[in-house]
Every structure is written in structure tokens, then in C-alpha cells.
Amino acid sequence: MQSTPEEFRLLLKKWKTDSAKVRVAAKFESENGFLSSTKLEGTLMLDEAESTLGVMSEDGSLFLVAYSSSGVGFSTREEQESKGFPLMLANPEEIDDILIINDSSGAVICLFSLIK
């Protein structure tokens, strides 16, 4: 479900304020069929001025994405399973909210806040 950039930022701010544990799962597809995916769990970092967000894991790994020119929205577990994310979602009882970023490059990024 599409959302406005303001709604998207409000939920990200809530996650940051609550020090929510966040999981990011990203899927990248190229024109020649190459597919790669990544999964990272950690703390949300947010730079509203630059419209970027990051997830920093305990071991220092970082996933960073700019979302200003991307489609953003909310999603459900069922929607994301149908798009090929089932192994990255883990247990449904762990997931609180799901945000989606659809990048112009074709990447799909799912952000999950996890129940404490």
C-alpha cells in the first residue's frame, strides 16, 4: 500500500525514538536476470535532511539507502511472501510493522520493526 513520504518518515521517526530493533531485507534484480539479496538486523539510523536511512548491525555492518526518489509504503507479510521474501521474514510473531521502498533501479527494500 503506497503511503505519503510524510507518513513513511513519521513511522521511521517512531522506530528511531523507540530504539526499535529493525531488520532490513533487500532484493536487487538486473535486466540480465541477476538477482542478489541481503538481510541485516540492527539499529535504525535516520537522516531526514538527506532522506537516507541506515541499519547498523551489532558487528558494525551497515545497510544504507536513499529514499527521496523512491516509492514508499506499508506492507503485510503476505504481500512480501508473494514477492519472494519468505526466508528473510522469519517468524511472523517477531514482526511489528513493515515498510517498503521501491527504488527506481528495481530494488525492493523491506524494513521490519521487530517486537521487543
Domain holding 83: CATH number? 2.30.29
- pLDDT of 87 over the 70 cut: no
- pLDDT of 59 over the 90 cut: yes
Residue 12 is predicted with a pLDDT of 93
Q: Which residue has the higher pLDDT, 82 or 96?
A: 96
How far is the C-alpha of 76 from the C-alpha of 1, rounded, in Å?
9
pLDDT tier, 91 (very low <50, low <70, confident <90, very high otherwise): low
Residue 74 is predicted with a pLDDT of 87
Residue 45 is predicted with a pLDDT of 94
Q: Identify whether the C-beta of residue 8 lies closer than 8 Å to the C-beta of residue 99.
A: yes
Residue 35 is predicted with a pLDDT of 67
How far is the C-alpha of 100 from the C-alpha of 88, rounded, in Å?
14
Residue 31 is predicted with a pLDDT of 73
Total number of domains constituting the chain: 1
Range of the domain at 24: 5-114
